[in-house]
């Protein structure tokens, strides 16, 4: 298993007990694994906001987080065993205790499967959206519809394999407004993240 020079530099910083004492090292590892495996956080909390990381320079923190995430993804991609991971981290001058801590975190959950499944697949990209008022005719008195509903079609494609079938769904006005609000929140969050 090989890491880029940038990732190796980040791991060298992580291996330095003066820069990363035991607790901040553990907190950064948890944050790196969480950022790759967990659902997005509620609200605006940032993944590196752990109190144990508050004394670390933000630039060093981002560099080391990227290095840890790169190692996790590379290990998952290559289905690396613990000896390959240990050898790679030893080359980055990590001591045995820190290597064991990383390997323990790596083995928790079904990380290898999750990461391997997601490597090489890019999410669908929305190329166009169309919508129209959906008319429903109900003959049964139990299913009265007194509100309009919309049929929304998302034209999507995947950069890996070209186009995919369109995604269509039906929703009420409230559901559509909720979706638009969530998309606006996501756009604002992405804009904030790109300005860091």
Low-confidence ranges of the chain (pLDDT < 50): 41-45, 109-110, 112-118
pLDDT at residue number 138: 61
**Tally of residues, the chain:** 196
User: Do 137 and 95 share a structural domain?
Assistant: no
b/e per residue 29-64 (b: at least 16 CB within 10 A): bebbbebbeeeeeeeeeeebebebbeebeeeebebb
User: Do 13 and 62 share a structural domain?
Assistant: yes
User: Do 153 and 92 share a structural domain?
Assistant: no
For the stretch 79-101, pLDDT in tens is 788 898 899 999 988 999 999 99
User: Do 139 and 108 share a structural domain?
Assistant: no
User: Do 151 and 113 share a structural domain?
Assistant: no
User: Do 86 and 23 share a structural domain?
Assistant: yes
Distance in angstroms (rounded) separating the CA atoms of residues 119 and 41: 22
Q: Which of 83, 101, 118 is the last residue of a domain?
A: 118
Q: Dihedrals φ, ψ of 147, to 5°?
A: -130, 150
For the stretch 180-194, pLDDT in tens is 999 898 888 888 888
b/e per residue 65-104 (b: at least 16 CB within 10 A): bebbbbbbbbbbeeebeeeebbebbeebebeeebbebbbe
Question: Which is it for the CA torsion 16, 30, 195, 58, positive or negative?
Answer: negative
pTM for the whole structure: 0.55
Total domain count for the chain? Answer: 2
Contacts of 36 (CB under 8 A, 6+ apart): 69, 72, 73, 115
User: Do 105 and 20 share a structural domain?
Assistant: yes
Instruction: Supply the CATH number for residue 173's domain.
Output: 3.10.450
pLDDT at residue number 161: 62
Q: What is the domain extent for residue 70?
A: 5-118
User: Do 155 and 109 share a structural domain?
Assistant: no
For residue 92, give the 3-state DSSP assignment. coil
pLDDT at residue number 47: 66
User: Do 76 and 167 share a structural domain?
Assistant: no
User: Do 144 and 103 share a structural domain?
Assistant: no
pLDDT at residue number 149: 84
pLDDT at residue number 144: 62
pLDDT at residue number 193: 82
Q: Which of 72, 98, 118 is the last residue of a domain?
A: 118
pLDDT at residue number 13: 92
Q: Which of 98, 118, 138 is the last residue of a domain?
A: 118
User: Do 173 and 95 share a structural domain?
Assistant: no
Q: How crowded is residue 137: how many other Cβ atoms within 10 Å of its Cβ?
A: 5
Half-sphere exposure of 149 (CA within 13 A, CB side): 12
């Amino acid at each position: 298993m090989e890491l880029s020079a940038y990732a190796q530099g980040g791991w060298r910083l992580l291996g330095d007990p003066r820069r990363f004492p035991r607790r901040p090292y553990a907190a950064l590892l948890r944050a790196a694994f969480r950022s790759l495996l967990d659902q997005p956080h509620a609200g605006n909390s940032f993944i590196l906001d752990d109190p144990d990381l508050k004394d670390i320079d933000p630039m060093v923190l981002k560099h080391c987080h990227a290095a840890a995430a790169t190692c996790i993804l590379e290990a998952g991609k290559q289905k690396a065993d613990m000896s390959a991971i240990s050898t790679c981290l030893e080359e980055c001058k990590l001591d045995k205790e820190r290597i064991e801590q990383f390997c323990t975190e790596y083995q928790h959950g079904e990380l290898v499967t999750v990461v391997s499944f997601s490597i090489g697949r890019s999410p669908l990209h929305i190329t166009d959206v169309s919508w129209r008022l959906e008319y429903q005719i109900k003959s049964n008195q139990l299913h009265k519809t007194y509100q309009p509903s919309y049929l929304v079609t998302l034209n999507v494609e995947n950069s890996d394999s070209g186009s995919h079938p369109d995604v269509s769904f039906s929703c009420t006005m409230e559901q559509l407004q909720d979706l638009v609000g969530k998309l606006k929140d996501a756009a604002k969050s992405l804009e904030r993240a790109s300005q860091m």
